[in-house]
Each structure stands twice: as structure tokens, then as C-alpha cells.
Amino acid sequence: MAHLRLGDIAPDFTAETTEGNISFHDWLGDQWGIIYSHPADFTPVCTTELGRTAQLKDEFDKRHVKVIALSVDPLKDHHEWIKDINETQNTTVNFPIIADSDRKVAELYDMIHPNASEKATVRSVFIVGPDKKIKLTLTYPASTGRNFDELLRVIDSLQLTANKKLATPADWKPGQDAIISPSVSDEEAKEQFPKYKAIKSYLRTTPTEK
């Protein structure tokens, strides 16, 4: 069973989904992606999570992020569950849900943790970059719904720092100051980040745009 780490290539797979058969890497194309799992269809926390994902489509779109969900229930159940999600969450599910009845994808991504449940997937989250590499992993227990504000915040940080020698401090939000990488010399910092501020020799900040 795979134990995926940051920087690993996200495993490719083909799967049946509520929007037809997909090949994951081809489906992702050159965009960012989130693949996340749910313990089961027709469960209350999952219903709110998938509803929230649908409500945030514009936020994901403007960040060039594609989202795909997974549970080990069959496609027929997914389609019936979507009706409930749309009704109870006042939205329209607008992303694919993988029907992983044979648990092939769940096992590829180590989404089943036997000490938590031998059958159901835990609440795993993987953020995948355009280079198909894993940029973030998060695992929540079945009893705790995910914080989608945090997922968007992480994506903003990842995209800010992907091509600049920057990092983001604790509780950072878009528009707040970022931290200049220690690998950047003061001379380079003056050129690349003319508004930077040196708090300590190893702690230098620079404004960012929201």
C-alpha cells in the first residue's frame, strides 16, 4: 500500500465517476487539483462537505483548481446522494465523484486506515500541482468536517510561493506580508522585493498583493 509524501507524483488512475470515466492525470491537465475522500454516501458530515465544495466553485475556478471526490460506494448511490446534497445544501453538485467500489483508488492513496475503519475511507485530502506532484496531505477523522477556508488559504500560499522564493507565516492570508526565503541574499532581496523589511537576519518580510 502506498504511503504518499509531499513531492511524490500523485498516482494516476482510471475510474468511473458521476461525470463519466476519467483518467486522472488527463482530467487534471495543467491545473491544480484536489482529490478527497469521504467515509460513505448518505452520511451527514459528508453531505455538508460536498455541498460546500459545490458552493465554492467560483473560488476554485479563479485559482484554476479542479476538485474530485471519492467514496467506495457505487455510482448509483452517488447519483441518488447528489439529489440529497443539492436539496439540503441549497446548491448543485458541479464536480465528479469517483465510484471506487473495488477500493482501487482508495488503496493507491492510502485512504483506508484499518484502525479507524476497515471498510470506509477516512477524510483524506490531497492537493496536487500542475506538475502532478503532491503539495499537501491532510487526514481528518470521520467525525470532523473539513475547513474549506483553510484549503483555499493553503492553495493561495502554494500558488504564491510556487514561483517566488517566498514562504507564508502562521495564519497568513492573501494580501498579508510573506517571508523571504533564507536562500535569498540581502542583495537579491533588495532587487526582487524592494519593499522588504528585515526584522532579523533570518526573518525578512515583503508585502504581497491579494
**Domains of the chain: residue spans and CATH:** 14-146 (3.40.30.10), 164-206 (3.30.1020.10)
Whether 110 has a pLDDT exceeding 60, the answer reads yes
Q: CA 117, 140, 1, 72 torsion: positive or negative? A: positive
pLDDT at 119: 54
Q: Give the active site residues.
A: 46
**More confident site: 33 or 39:** 33
pLDDT-based confidence at residue 106 (cuts at 50, 70, 90): confident
Q: pLDDT per residue over 180-199, tens digit each? A: 999 999 999 999 999 999 99
The number of C-alpha atoms within 13 Å of 112 and in the hemisphere containing its C-beta is: 18
Predicted TM-score (pTM) of this structure:
0.91
CB contact set of 131 (below 8 Å; sequence gap of 6+): none
Mean pLDDT is lowest, of 40-44, 61-65, 76-80, 132-136, for 40-44
pLDDT at 113: 56
The amino acid at residue 104 is: K
Whether 114 has a pLDDT exceeding 90, the answer reads no
The amino acid at residue 122 is: V
pLDDT-based confidence at residue 39 (cuts at 50, 70, 90): confident
The mean pLDDT value of the chain amounts to 92
Q: CA 42, 100, 105, 35 torsion: positive or negative? A: negative
Q: pLDDT per residue over 152-167, tens digit each? A: 999 999 999 998 999 9
pLDDT at 3: 82
CB contact set of 122 (below 8 Å; sequence gap of 6+): 37, 39, 111, 112, 113, 116, 139, 140, 141, 142
pLDDT at 138: 93
Whether 122 has a pLDDT exceeding 90, the answer reads no
